[in-house]
Amino acid sequence: MASSNLLVHLRQCFSPPSLRSYLAEFISTFLYVFTAVGSTISSRMLSPDVASGAASLVATAVAQAFGLFAAVLISADVSGGHANPAVTFAFAIGGHIGATSAVFYWVSQLLGSTFACFLLHFLSAGQEVPTTRIAVAMTGFGAAIMEGVLTFLLVYTVHVAVDPPRPAGGGKRGFAATALGALAVGLAAGACVLSAGSLTGASMNPACSFGPALVSGDFKNQAVYWAGPMIGAAVAALAHQVLACPPGAPESRHGSVEAVVV
């Protein structure tokens, strides 16, 4: 019985809607990481002596805000617009996506990030791909807490703005509503980068830290950028269920993947 259920779940994971969701996550994560990492490379090439100044931080924050806005918008109706393993983890905890499907989401996101960084490295004539780093004055534990807080704020915004209850009849939301939700997520990400970018890099996204680390070969402090965001995302998912999803509330929208927890 258990084996037959597993086969059913696996078939659902490889159904055409699910495969479209994985491709959407690959493309959206590629877009976000390409803009986030690319903006840092561009800033460093234009002003190598002041790459760590305030202007660089603002430019990176703006690029990440617009990049995430676009990434969420183009994939919201296909995959739910995650573009972030921490967001996927939060939706898995909330029961919106099955554990098996979540793993395939993670694979798609990590591949999208890695491909974006390889392409940037190649197209920029071998420029070093920047990795997320912790400020000298911070400890790894403190950085993990900071990343957890930032990710909590981002993921809670995702839950409220991008995944609200379905309209009457269970149809899709209009484009304007989807765009407004994606904009809110992008603005939240940009604000977090401005507030803590100089401390931890304000990754809030394990994929955004993994791709540059893999391409550059520098995996220092990778645990910080996985543990912090995952814990923050889990707390955000639980907080949203308690505060915004009382019993009897309408079912939320989540891409095309079956919400089956394996």
The mean-pLDDT minimum among 7-16, 55-64, 194-203 falls in 7-16
Distance CA 23, CA 75 (A): 9
Q: pLDDT per residue over 109-133, tens digit each?
A: 999 999 999 999 999 887 889 999 8
From the list 224, 70, 201, 85, the residue with the least C-alpha distance to 145 is 224
Q: Which two tokens stand for residue 253?
A: 């929208």
Distance CA 209, CA 245 (A): 31
For the domain with range 12-244, which CATH number is right: 1.20.1440.130, 3.40.50.720, 1.20.1080.10, 1.10.3720.10? Answer: 1.20.1080.10
pTM confidence score: 0.88
Q: pLDDT averaged over the chain?
A: 86
Q: Which two tokens stand for residue 247?
A: 């019993």
Residue by residue, DSSP assigns 129-184 as: PP-----TT--HHHHHHHHHHHHHHHHHHHHHHTSPBPPTTS-PPPHHHHHHHHHH
Distance separating the N- and C-terminal Cα atoms of the chain? 13
Residue 165 DSSP symbol:
B
Q: Which two tokens stand for residue 169?
A: 């009849």
Q: How confident is the model at residue 14 (pLDDT cuts 50, 70, 90)?
A: confident
The mean-pLDDT minimum among 203-207, 208-212, 219-223, 255-259 falls in 255-259
Predicted confidence (pLDDT) at residue 80 exceeds the cutoff of 70: yes
Q: pLDDT per residue over 238-259, tens digit each?
A: 999 888 766 555 555 554 443 3
Predicted confidence (pLDDT) at residue 168 exceeds the cutoff of 60: no
Distance CA 251, CA 233 (A): 20
Mean pLDDT of 135-145: 91
Q: pLDDT per residue over 18-56, tens digit each?
A: 999 999 999 999 999 999 999 999 888 877 655 467 888
Distance CA 112, CA 130 (A): 17
Mean pLDDT of 155-161: 94
